[in-house]
Amino acid sequence: MINPVLEALARARQQSAPLFARWCAREGAMFCPATPAAVARFVRDRAGLGMAQLWGALQDISRLHTSKGLADPTLSEPVTFAVNAVSGIVPPRSWPAARKERFKTLPYDVQAFVASHEAARERALRRAQNEAAAARRELAAMQCKCTEEESSGSHEVNSQQSLA
């Protein structure tokens, strides 16, 4: 006979991370404490959910473990690599190659922040370059117009002097 209090605690734990709890029950993996390998396998198996739902499930797993005073299995390298494979966030182009490898070890939320910040920076840079190019074209057109006016103005002066 199972103690009803322990059974209620087990149900409460499973409700705090329902996606992972159902997956563990189906796969026969230990729910709490979870191993990093099991969490990484969960990420790979549930990749079709999309990163928004998957990231929420990972945060639930993390909260569950830290609230019980256990090590957070979602911070391990296997989980980070599995999340990287699913998320598809590429390192910023402006980063050196050595730093790009380091980028892949960052947590997903940090990667997403850096990638969005870098994309915004690149858009601003492109916009500034386009504005500078437009200003250069406008300046060249004004200079061309000025030289045409000067040459036509001096030509009129020369023709008036020859008539007199």
Are 8 and 80 members of one domain?
yes
Across 111-128, b (16+ Cβ under 10 Å) vs e yields beebbeebeeeeeeeeee
pLDDT of residue 80: 86
Mean pLDDT is lowest, of 3-12, 20-29, 91-100, 137-146, for 3-12
Residue 61, exposed/middle/buried by CB under 10 A (0-12, 13-18, 19+)? buried
CATH number at 20 reads 1.10.150.130
The model's pTM: 0.61
Q: Which of residues 43, 58, 88 is at a domain's end?
A: 88
Are 79 and 96 members of one domain?
no
**Percent of the chain, pLDDT > 70?**
82
Are 81 and 96 members of one domain?
no
Residue 12, pLDDT > 70, answer: no
Are 60 and 107 members of one domain?
no
Domain that holds residue 97: 91-164
**Percent of the chain, pLDDT > 90?**
8
